[in-house]
């Protein structure tokens, strides 16, 4: 295969290895392409040894479990079969691919339209990379949940994107934050400290994150430089505080994010009035991106040039 090679990953129980197609920087088996099913090789003693992608022949569709092909009633190799097993052209609901901008206008994303159905199906088939990909599209849509969206589809499958509870931390001397990073297609890139990430473009020093210190820094960055920082691809990050517990052991605590672009029934629920410090309507989330130059890079109506989205400001607030 051209980009994916057969590599080995550790099984879920940690006692064996599974051979499957993966890129060099991936740690999980890649999701199968459209109209491909997962072929599994199992040893005589019932241990999964390998997974590979095989294409369904014409007039067939992938089964709901993703592990075999079933017959369609009509022959059309470019179509997707519905639940009644008749073969039809795959159509995507317009709301599923919509991104709502700051001014309230809605734009269709060619990227989402091209990938959303395959990603949803892959996540339903327990492909973790596909689920991460779907989660990232949810973030691109600003966690829109009132209408059909990547978020509503993700919530049907795995309810882990919204931040639901708080635990008390013990304060440490420095605010050590690490990022778990993913590419748009859900590939896990690894962990990186905040000071080394794109979120720290203005090159703050470690002592600036000392508890009890108020610090503000502004810098001006050319748009082209922002795009270069992301390598042309949006990088999605989950933030964690690393701290020492009372036993001297390092622990990680997921950081809740207040994304001010999230709307609920048309209202920016995460935006405070000048005299407010708290809002009971807050929707706390777990993932953010720094630069998006892909999801709206070619609008369908042809009336606009590419739209590039990036944060106007990022605040880190600690309350003990």
> Which of 186, 253, 231 shows the shortest CA–CA distance to 30?
186
Tell me what pLDDT residue 238 has.
94
Break the chain into its structural domains and give their ranges: 6-55, 94-160, 176-317
Per-residue confidence (pLDDT) for residue 182, from 0 to 100? 92
Q: How far is CA 140 from the centre of its chain?
A: 8
Residue-level pLDDT at 204: 52
Residue located via tokens 């600003």: 142
| H helical segments located in the chain | 110-124, 128-140, 150-157, 223-229
The predicted pLDDT at position 27 comes to: 72
Q: Which residues pair with 191 in a beta bridge?
A: 180
Q: How far apart are CA 180 and CA 176, in angstroms?
A: 13
Tell me what pLDDT residue 190 has.
Answer: 92
Q: What pLDDT is recorded for position 237?
A: 92
Q: How far apart are CA 120 and CA 118, in angstroms?
A: 6
The reported pLDDT for the residue numbered 209 is 66
Q: What is the pLDDT along the chain (320 residues), one digit of tens a residue?
A: 345 677 787 777 777 888 887 777 777 777 777 778 888 888 777 778 888 888 888 777 777 677 788 776 543 334 455 444 444 445 568 888 889 888 888 888 989 988 888 888 888 877 888 889 999 999 999 988 877 899 989 988 875 555 544 333 444 567 788 999 999 989 999 999 887 787 776 655 544 566 656 666 677 777 777 777 766 788 899 999 888 777 878 889 899 998 988 888 888 888 887 777 777 888 889 999 888 888 887 555 555 567 888 888 888 877 66
- For position 168, what pLDDT does the model report? 37
């Amino acid at each position: 295969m051209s980009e994916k090679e057969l590599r080995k990953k550790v099984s879920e129980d940690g006692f064996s290895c599974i051979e499957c197609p993966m890129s060099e920087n991936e740690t999980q088996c890649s999701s199968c392409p459209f109209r491909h099913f997962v072929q599994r090789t199992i040893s005589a003693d019932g241990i999964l040894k390998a997974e590979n992608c095989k294409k369904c022949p014409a007039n067939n569709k992938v089964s709901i479990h993703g592990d075999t092909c079933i017959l369609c009633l009509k022959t059309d190799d470019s179509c997707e079969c519905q639940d009644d097993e008749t073969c039809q052209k795959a159509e995507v609901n317009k709301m599923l691919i919509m991104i709502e901008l700051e001014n309230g206008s809605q734009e269709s994303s060619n990227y989402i339209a091209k990938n959303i159905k395959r990603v949803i199906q892959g996540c339903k088939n327990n492909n973790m990379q596909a689920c991460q990909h779907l989660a990232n599209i949810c973030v691109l849509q600003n966690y829109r949940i009132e209408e059909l969206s990547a978020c509503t589809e993700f919530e049907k499958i795995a309810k882990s994107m919204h931040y639901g509870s708080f635990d008390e931390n013990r304060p440490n001397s420095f605010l050590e934050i690490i990022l778990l990073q993913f590419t748009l297609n859900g590939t896990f890139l690894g962990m990186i400290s905040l000071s080394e990430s794109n979120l720290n473009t203005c090159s703050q020093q470690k002592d600036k994150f000392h508890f009890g210190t108020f610090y503000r820094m502004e810098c001006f960055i050319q748009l082209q430089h922002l795009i270069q920082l992301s390598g042309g691809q949006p990088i999605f990050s989950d933030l964690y505080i690393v701290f020492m517990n009372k036993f001297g052991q390092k622990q990680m605590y997921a950081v809740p994010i207040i994304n001010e672009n999230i709307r609920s029934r048309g209202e920016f629920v995460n935006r405070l009035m000048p005299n407010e410090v708290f809002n009971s309507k807050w929707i706390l989330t777990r993932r953010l991106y720094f630069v998006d130059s892909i999801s709206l890079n070619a609008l369908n109506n042809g009336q606009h040039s590419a739209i590039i989205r990036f944060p106007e400001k990022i605040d880190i607030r600690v309350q003990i």
